[in-house]
Structure 1
Amino acid sequence: MTDIPAVRPPLPPFTEESARAKVQAAEDAWNSRDPERVALAYTEDSVWRNRDRFLTGRAEIRAFLADKWARELDYRLRKELWAFTGNRISVRFEYEWHDAGGQWFRSHGNEQWEFADDGLMRRREASINDVPIAPGDRRIA
């Protein structure tokens, strides 16, 4: 397991610039499709709601992500800052992926993030909807 930095900048309270940097860092990490790398951005006891799933802790997050990217093939994500205040950031996002049968999907959603003082995310609330798309309708390469 990779060592976790004691501090993960940018740190709250967020400015527009630091909130945008945090969102871009999250997009870059998720696009790596590396569950270990992504899980390190969360506190050891981080609490998630992802659609209808409720997770607690980095180990559950890591396992969830490994399963996700085993099913959601060729996953590509785009995140956009929606709002920020203090130690919270809200984003809208969409990502595209296909299943093992070759059906492509675009998943739309929003997330609310809450950060600890050290810059690790301690809470994530995600609402997501999936729409089947034709391969020619993809927007994210």
Structure 2
Amino acid sequence: MLAQESPVSRPPLPPFTRETAIQKVRAAEDGWNGRDPAKVALAYTPDSRWRNRAEFINGRAEIEAFLTRKWAKELDYRLIKELWTFADDRIAVRFAYEYHDDSGNWFRAYGNENWEFDADGLMKIRHASINEHPIEEADRKYRWPLGRRPDDHPSLSDLGF
């Protein structure tokens, strides 16, 4: 499936309950941990609008290009997202991720995202505020094999983030 194609729906669908909002957050985390830009882009509406730090991104093609650039420089990327709050068709999350650059320098980034979904469960708006800082390799907290975070791995709250 090409990134320009749209799935019929992407459950869970709004209006969200606490349970379905948590499911939506975990699905987003799993997708991003898979680091497949074309696949991740399908979770967004074809005309999705993003603010990611100071960058403004519009539509799936730009989302896919952004994620391709991101994961080419943020190596061994691992992410945890956690529900902050939700209402109707909106979800707010907080997150932290770790990665290293091509020189082996490790970083941890913290942030908040505000999401708005269409009736089919596709994200139409994403606003992300992110701060990062260098960490020592020994201070890493995310050491699971690349891909989906294991269900028994500590959450952000468990880690004190």
Output the TM-score relative to the length of structure 1: 0.98
Are 2:116 and 1:96 aligned? no
Q: Which amino acid letter does the alignment assign opposite residue 28 of structure 2?
A: A
Match of 2:64 in 1: 62
Match of 1:46 in 2: 48
- Hey, which bits of structure 1, 4+ residues long, moved more than 3 A? none
Choose between structure 1 and 2: higher strand proportion. 1
Partner SS, residue 83 of structure 1: strand
CA offsets per residue over residues 32-90 of structure 1, 9 Å max, x none?
Answer: 01001110000000000000100100000000000000000000000000000000000
* Between 36-45 and 3-12, the greater mean CA deviation after superposition: 3-12
Match of 2:111 in 1: 109
Structure 2 unaligned regions, length at least 5:
144-161
Q: Displacement of 1:5 after TM fit?
A: 1.6
Structure 1 unaligned regions, length at least 5:
none
Are 2:140 and 1:138 aligned? yes
Q: Displacement of 1:102 after TM fit?
A: 0.5
User: Which residue among 23, 46, 51 is the counterpart of 2:25?
Assistant: 23
Partner SS, residue 12 of structure 1: coil
In the alignment, the residues of structure 2 paired with residue 100 and residue 33 of structure 1 have an alpha-carbon distance, to the nearest angstrom, of 17
Query: Aligned-residue CA RMSD in angstroms?
Result: 0.8
In the alignment, the residues of structure 2 paired with residue 110 and residue 38 of structure 1 have an alpha-carbon distance, to the nearest angstrom, of 19
Q: Displacement of 1:16 after TM fit?
A: 0.3
Q: Displacement of 1:4 after TM fit?
A: 3.0
Output the TM-score relative to the length of structure 2: 0.86
Match of 1:83 in 2: 85
Q: Calculate percent identity across the aligned residue pairs.
A: 63
Match of 2:131 in 1: 129
Count of aligned pairs: 141
CA offsets per residue over residues 77-122 of structure 1, 9 Å max, x none?
Answer: 0000000000000000000000011000000000000000010000
In the alignment, the residues of structure 1 paired with residue 6 and residue 12 of structure 2 have an alpha-carbon distance, to the nearest angstrom, of 15
